[in-house]
Amino acid sequence: MEPLSQAEIRSSFVNCSKGEAKGVTLPARVETIPWADIDFLGWRDPKATGRGYLVLRHEGAAVGLSLRATTPPRSRLRSSLCNFCMTAHAAADIALFSARRAGAAGKAGNTLGVYLCADLACCLYVRRKLVPEVPQPSETLSVEERVARMELNLHRFVADVLSAP
Ligand SMILES: [Zn+2]
């Protein structure tokens, strides 16, 4: 993705208060982020377990989402596939992330949930730069096709968070 500055990342958040956005622990110095190898920036807050963030370019604008992560009880976990990158994981490596919707719906407590790689490193899994612990379902997609599928899932989710219900 096209690199973003620290200020652009901080001001991109659409589903949390300004105060919360200010308190976000950024993943790394922006110069050290491998922008060419990622389609979105996803990270867990090292200072607040249970928080995660997604930042991406969506319809031409930088959009950041603040997420709350919970580890679903094993018995209720139907699938251990990430809903974005479709990587298979052991149950402990998948988390349920919920995003408050943007705007009035979010203020009314409306959220959307999605099962994702617990470390939000989807971009590295689709490129096989990170290898999950469990065997992957056999499929013949190329890296480009896996990236395209992930982007489709990601943008659909972001569009849902941004849209009024
Ligand atoms: Zn993933």
For 81-135, the pLDDT digits (tens) are 999 999 999 888 899 999 999 988 888 999 999 999 999 999 999 999 999 888 8
Report how far ligand 1's centroid is from the alpha carbon of 104 (Å).
29
In a domain, 38, yes or no: yes
In a domain, 111, yes or no: yes
Ligand 1 centroid–CA 121 distance in Å is: 6
Residues sharing a CB contact under 8 Å with residue 20, sequence separation 6 or more, in sequence order: 13, 66
Assigned domain for 95 exists: yes
pLDDT score for 70: 87
Domain containing 17: what range?
6-162
Helix, strand, or coil (residue 8): helix
| 125 Cα: distance to centroid of ligand 1 (angstroms) | 7
Angle CA(156)–CA(162)–CA(165) in degrees, nearest 5? Answer: 95
Collapsing DSSP to helix, strand or coil, 4 comes out as coil
Is residue 53 within 8 A of residue 45, CB to CB? The reply is yes
- Condensed to tens digits (0 to 9), the pLDDT of residues 38-83 reads 999 999 998 888 999 999 999 999 999 999 998 766 656 555 899 9
pLDDT band at 164 (very low <50, low <70, confident <90, very high): low
Q: Is residue 1 domain-resident?
A: no
122 φ, ψ (degrees, to nearest 5): -50, -40
Each residue's pLDDT tens digit, 152-161 = 999 999 999 9
Mean pLDDT of 136-150: 93
| 37 inside domain | yes
pLDDT at 165: 58
Ligand 1 centre to CA of 126 (Å) is: 8
| Number of domains making up the chain | 1
State the pLDDT at residue 74: 64
pLDDT at residue 121, as a whole number? 96
- 66 - beta bridge partners? 53
The pLDDT value recorded for residue 35 is 94
Please provide the DSSP assignment of 20-82 as one string: HHHHPPPSS-GGGS-GGG-SSEEEE-TTSTTEEEEEEEETTEEEEEEEEEE---GGG----B-
Inside any domain, residue 17: yes
Distance 19 CA to ligand 1 centre (A): 28
Give the distance (Å) from ligand 1 centre to CA of residue 124.
9
Q: So what's the pLDDT on residue 29? A: 87
pLDDT at residue number 79 = 58
6-19 average pLDDT score: 93
What are the beta bridge partners of residue 98?
68, 113
Separation of 137 CA from ligand 1 center, angstroms?
14
